[in-house]
Amino acid sequence: MKNFYFIFFFLFSINIFGQSVEEKAAMAACECIKKIETLTDAKYRDCLSISLVEAHRNSQNISEFDFTVEDIQSAFRKVDSITKSMCESTFNTVERKKEKYYSNSKNENAFNSYLIGNDLMNEGKYDFAIKAFNTSLKHDKNSVVALDNIAICYRRLDKFDKAIKYYKKSLAIFPEGDVALVNIGVIYTQKTEYKISCYYYKKLIEYYPSNPEGYFGFAKNLTLLNDYENALVNVIKAHFLYAEEESEYIIDSETLINIIYSAMEKNNKANDFIRIASENGLEISVE
């Protein structure tokens, strides 16, 4: 297999806005945010971008001048800051929901049983841990962390269908739960139900666009479904995010990129591979 050298480049589409335009953009962004039931990072950025474009179009006092990437980043940060100060109380973000649903139960009996279950789970006594977590649920039926941990226990016992059952219960309460979304995706991949796994990874991408696990899991399933071109697009996104985090999992994305290249080369699509990689910000030198 050929070796690749990965070269990162980023393309910027940029405009500079004056202070009055920034304020108008922030006001419009607040109105956009109010209409969104669950505000993800991606939807928040969309609101900012759309509002900035409209504010720019409606302004009659915008002058053209030379600018740098730093200028653009500074302008965007100002709009971001103004927007958050103007309408922070309207935010219903995924992160706020995580704070709510991943917090300890306020019911003392539920919390104590949960702690016992955690200790038993850490000791590898999964059957006993499941009983403790179920006791916790009797006192607090909406405990997402107890449901997730029961699912973890069943997964470690290789009882995948039971694990799925509890992850689905968790997601019924907290649809944006990244713990459940990641793990149910992994289980469906292990069960070779790749299309169902893709559904959950796409949800993970929607709610957490900065989480590389969504893109990587999705790409892995697409590769197993022989959809190599879309797999390549998504694994490149995961690769960039792993690089930003300086994550050791970048080795996994590099491996998957090579696997996809090998498969496309066998199908006489090596040139398509190089083209798609370049279009998505990854230049490759082949030795």
Question: Which tens digit of pLDDT belongs to each residue from 96-140?
Answer: 788 889 999 999 999 999 999 999 999 999 999 999 999 999 999
Q: What is the pLDDT of residues 273-282, one digit of tens each?
A: 999 999 999 8
Q: Taking 90 as the threshold, does the pLDDT of residue 46 lie above it?
A: no
Domains annotated on the chain, with CATH = 19-92 (no CATH), 100-286 (1.25.40.10)
Helix (H, G, I), strand (E, B) or coil at 25: helix
Tens of pLDDT along 64-85? Answer: 434 455 655 666 777 888 887 7
- Average pLDDT in the 34-55 region? 80
Instruction: Give pLDDT tens digits for 221-242.
Output: 999 999 999 999 999 999 999 9
Mean pLDDT of 237-258: 95
Given a cut of 90, is residue 266 above it in pLDDT? yes
- Containing 6, the helix (H) or strand (E) segment is strand 4-8
The yes-or-no verdict on residue 259 having pLDDT over 80 is: yes
Average pLDDT over residues 161-189: 97
Q: What is the pLDDT of residues 4-33, one digit of tens each?
A: 544 443 333 334 444 467 888 888 888 888
Where are the alpha helices (H) located in the chain, listed in sequence order?
Answer: 19-34, 41-58, 69-87, 94-101, 108-122, 126-139, 144-156, 160-173, 178-190, 194-207, 212-224, 228-245, 250-266, 270-279
**Least confident piece of the model among 85-99, 179-193, 222-236:** 85-99
Beta bridge pairs of residue 6:
284
| All residues at 6 or more sequence positions from 35 whose CB lies less than 8 Å from its CB, including other chains | none
Look over the chain and give the mean of its residue pLDDT values, rounded to a whole number. 86
User: What is the value of pTM for the model shown?
Assistant: 0.72
Residue-level pLDDT at 85: 75
